[in-house]
Amino acid sequence: MGHRLRAVVVIAGIIALSSPSAAKVVKFEIVRVESPAFEGRSFGAVGTYDRIIAHATIAVAPDDPHNKIVVDLDRAPRNAQGLVEAVTDVEILRPTVATNGNRRLFYEVLNRGSKLGFALFDDVPTVVNDLAKATDAGNGFLMNRGYTMVWSGWQGDIVPGAGRMTFTPPIVPGVTGLAREDFIFDHTDNPASGTLSYPADDLDPAHVKLSVRQFEADPRSTPAGLEVKFEGPTKISIKRPDGFDAGAIYEFIYTAKDPKVMGLGFAATRDVVSFLRNETADAAGTANPLADRIDRAIGFGLSQSGRYLHDYLYLGFNADEAGRVVFEGLMPHISGGKKTFTNYRFSQPGRSPYQHADMLYPGADFPFTYPVITDTLTGKSDGFLARCLAAGNCPKIIKSDSELEFYQQRASLVVTDTQGNALAMPDNIRLFLLSNLQHYSMANAKPEMVKVCAFPTNPLNAGPPVRALLVALDDWISKGTLPPASRYPGRSDGTLVPPAADDVGFPRIPGFAYTSRMARPTLIKSDEMPPSKGAAYPVFVPKTDADGRDIAGVHLPTLEAPVGTHTGWNLRKAGFGEGELCDNNGSMIPFAATREERQKTNDPRLSLSERYPNSGDRAAAIAKAAQQLVKDRLLLEEDTKLFIPNLN
Confidence of residue 320 (pLDDT cuts 50, 70, 90): very high
Confidence of residue 3 (pLDDT cuts 50, 70, 90): very low
Please report the DSSP string for 459-516 in residue order.
----HHHHHHHHHHHHHHHHH-PPPPPPB---TTTT-EE-SSHHHHT---BTTBPPP-
**Is 20 or 111 the better-scoring residue by pLDDT?**
111
Task: Tell me: pLDDT of 631 over 50.
Answer: yes
pLDDT at 645: 58
Task: Tell me: pLDDT of 21 over 60.
Answer: no
Cα 558 to chain center, whole Å? 26
Percentage of residues in the chain having pLDDT higher than 90: 94
**Is 7 or 369 the better-scoring residue by pLDDT?**
369
pTM of the model: 0.95
**Is 5 or 488 the better-scoring residue by pLDDT?**
488
Cβ–Cβ < 8 Å for 582, 563? no
The average confidence (pLDDT) of the chain is 95
Ramachandran bin of 375, using left for φ above 0, alpha for ψ from -120 to 50, beta for the remaining angles: beta
Confidence of residue 535 (pLDDT cuts 50, 70, 90): very high
Cβ–Cβ < 8 Å for 506, 544? yes
Which residue, 378, 396, 460, 402, is CA-closest to 584? Answer: 402
Percentage of residues in the chain having pLDDT higher than 70: 96
Spell out the alpha helix ranges (H) of 396-462.
Answer: 404-408
Provide mean pLDDT across the span 353-365: 95
For residue range 338-355, what is the model confidence (pLDDT) as tens digits? 999 999 999 999 999 999
List of residues 6+ apart from 43 with CB closer than 8 A: 49, 137, 140, 143, 144
End-to-end CA distance of the chain: 77
Provide mean pLDDT across the span 220-244: 98
Task: Tell me: pLDDT of 10 over 60.
Answer: no
Provide mean pLDDT across the span 23-46: 95
pLDDT at 9: 34
CA–CA separation, 31 and 90 (whole Å): 10
**Residue 23 amino acid letter:** A
Which residue, 277, 261, 342, is CA-closest to 305? Answer: 342
CA–CA separation, 393 and 395 (whole Å): 6
For residue range 166-214, what is the model confidence (pLDDT) as tens digits? 999 999 999 999 999 999 999 999 999 999 999 999 999 999 999 999 9
Longest dimension (CA), the chain: 97
Confidence of residue 644 (pLDDT cuts 50, 70, 90): confident
Task: Tell me: pLDDT of 553 over 80.
Answer: yes
Task: Tell me: pLDDT of 606 over 90.
Answer: yes
